Amino acid sequence: MFNEIISFIREIYRTDKPIALHEPRFLGNEKKYVLDTIDSTFVSSVGTYVTKFEDMIKEYTGCKHAIATSNGTTALHLALLLAGVKREHEVITQPLTFVATCNAISYCGATPVFVDVDKETLGLSPVKLREFLSNNCKVENGQCVNKVTGKTVRACVPMHTFGHSARIEEIRECCDEYNVILVEDAAESIGSKYRSKHTGRFGKLGILSFNGNKTITCGGGGMIMTDDQDLAKLGKHVSTTAKVPHKWDFVHDMLGYNYRLPNINAALACAQMEQLDLFIKNKRELASAYEKFFGKLGVTFIKEPKDVYSNYWLNGIILKDKKERDDFLKFSNDQGVMTRPIWTLMSKLNMYKGCVKGDLSNSEWLEDRVVNIPSSVVVKK
Ligand SMILES: *Cc1c(COP(=O)(O)O)cnc(C)c1O
């Protein structure tokens, strides 16, 4: 069976050379726009491409305001600060995520609280979220208080795993009921929609990532999306060292960060945005070919859940058990076809193993079985 999988993947990518899990494609105006920033000398945090990129994201996702940052992690850190996450707060998230989600919570001095995911979406489970909130929390003076720890649960950060949206409307309803601010980690899901609305637009704030391994990239980059004008204004200010605009004076009126995306990266981003729809079409065709193939093989392929239009950033399969997973990981990587397991659960990492958690049985089940397989845009030769 493993052999068949490897041959199928090699057939798709038409190569005998090593196949990466996800590599960028620069097929459009990338060189032209980047050269343009060099010729203009505006390669750094001031320049026309940064605002152009923000406008393209607004247009594409429908969000009212967008703030470009140096990467997805800084976008999430800033989004949580804007949501008012402070030291001594708790922030609910899923244990099945990339470490940046939890690190951004920690940068605010807050602690993650782990609630399980759904097996169908790989995203935060609205049912388990409600269960956790109703068993452990109460709303007191407008704040959601964890009765066990006495801490305020300020925000909730669901993550749209591999580009598949979580059941985000149900999550939002639950957050609203308990006065918990919803911040979406949509780092992996640019172009993905839940009931026709772009992911990252359901909460007060949402973020995207443009790291080298994502659906489109600008080397490193991130974006904060919000419909709240005041938060957007504050976000832009804080991301640019909180400098008060003035021709020569250096006055900073609050603690700021150097998180603005450089113009040279934004140039790359604009060129990639022009190709996004093509890339997603290509990725969805790839996913559909995988789905057919694995269906015949009797292996579970991770499909977009109900009500979701997915960008299929990373394709994944679910193997029988941990042993089969490990055997396949070894076999495929030895053959030069890169595959990898899903992340080690955050609740098991040194920094986070002491955190409050609910029942995590779905996350644990998935952790043992999910394998990602090559998912780059297929270039027709
Ligand atoms: C990629 C990613 C981020 C942000 O990553 P950066 O490399 O900082 O852009 C955050 N959360 C998740 C779930 C991610 O996959």
Q: Which residues contact 35 (CB under 8 A, 6 or more apart)?
A: none
Q: Which residues contact 322 (CB under 8 A, 6 or more apart)?
A: 368, 369
Distance 188 CA to ligand 1 centre (A): 7
Distance CA 76, CA 102 (A): 10
Mean pLDDT throughout 301-306?
Answer: 98
Residue 380 has pLDDT above 90, yes or no: no
Distance CA 14, CA 19 (A): 10
Nearest CA to ligand 1 atom 5: 72
pLDDT band at 238 (very low <50, low <70, confident <90, very high): very high
Residue 381 has pLDDT above 80, yes or no: no
CB-ligand 1 contact for 199 (6 Å cutoff): no
The residue type at 307: D
Ligand 1 nearest-atom number relative to CA 214: 1
CB-ligand 1 contact for 98 (6 Å cutoff): yes
**Please, what is the end-to-end C-alpha distance for the chain in angstroms?**
28
Q: How far is CA 268 from CA 159, 211, 308, in A?
A: 25, 12, 28
Domains of the chain: 2-24+276-373 (3.90.1150.10), 30-273 (3.40.640.10)
Ligand 1 nearest-atom number relative to CA 98: 13
Ligand 1 nearest-atom number relative to CA 220: 9
Question: Both tokens of residue 208?
Answer: 């995207």
DSSP code string of 135-185: HHEEEETTEEEETTT--EEEEEE-B-GGGPPP-HHHHHHHHHHTT-EEEEE
By C-alpha distance, which of 190, 182, 184 is closest to 162?
A: 190
CB-ligand 1 contact for 101 (6 Å cutoff): yes
Distance 71 CA to ligand 1 centre (A): 8
CB-ligand 1 contact for 73 (6 Å cutoff): yes
Q: Please write the tens of the pLDDT for every residue from 5-58.
A: 999 999 999 999 999 999 999 999 999 999 999 999 999 988 999 999 999 999
pLDDT band at 242 (very low <50, low <70, confident <90, very high): very high
Distance CA 273, CA 57 (A): 8
By C-alpha distance, which of 51, 104, 102 is closest to 81?
A: 104
Q: Please write the tens of the pLDDT for every residue from 153-205.
A: 999 999 999 999 999 999 999 999 999 999 999 999 999 999 999 999 999 99
Distance 72 CA to ligand 1 centre (A): 5
Ligand 1 nearest-atom number relative to CA 207: 10
CB-ligand 1 contact for 187 (6 Å cutoff): yes
Distance CA 77, CA 102 (A): 10
**Residue 173, exposed/middle/buried by CB under 10 A (0-12, 13-18, 19+)?**
middle
pLDDT band at 315 (very low <50, low <70, confident <90, very high): very high
Distance CA 180, CA 312 (A): 29
Q: Which residues contact 24 (CB under 8 A, 6 or more apart)?
A: 212, 213, 216, 217
CB-ligand 1 contact for 100 (6 Å cutoff): yes
Ligand 1 nearest-atom number relative to CA 221: 9
CB-ligand 1 contact for 222 (6 Å cutoff): yes
Residue 319 has pLDDT above 90, yes or no: yes
Tell me the β-bridge partners of 240: 258
By C-alpha distance, which of 12, 58, 31 is closest to 283?
A: 12
Sheet holding 370-373, edge to edge: 300-301, 315-318, 370-373, 340-341
Ligand 1 nearest-atom number relative to CA 74: 8
The structure tokens 């060189």 sit at 31
Mean pLDDT throughout 298-323?
Answer: 98
pTM of the model: 0.97
The rounded mean pLDDT for the chain is 97
Distance 152 CA to ligand 1 centre (A): 26
How many Cβ atoms sit within 10 Å of the Cβ of residue 2?
Answer: 13
**Is the CB of residue 82 less than 8 Å from the CB of residue 235?**
yes
CB-ligand 1 contact for 211 (6 Å cutoff): yes
The residue type at 143: Q
Distance 250 CA to ligand 1 centre (A): 33
CB-ligand 1 contact for 124 (6 Å cutoff): no
Q: Please write the tens of the pLDDT for every residue from 109-137.
A: 999 999 999 999 999 999 999 999 999 99
By C-alpha distance, which of 36, 5, 10, 17 is closest to 270?
A: 36
How distant is the alpha carbon of residue 170 from its chain centre? Answer: 19
- Per-residue confidence (pLDDT) for residue 45, from 0 to 100: 83
- Per-residue confidence (pLDDT) for residue 224, from 0 to 100: 98
- Per-residue confidence (pLDDT) for residue 46, from 0 to 100: 87
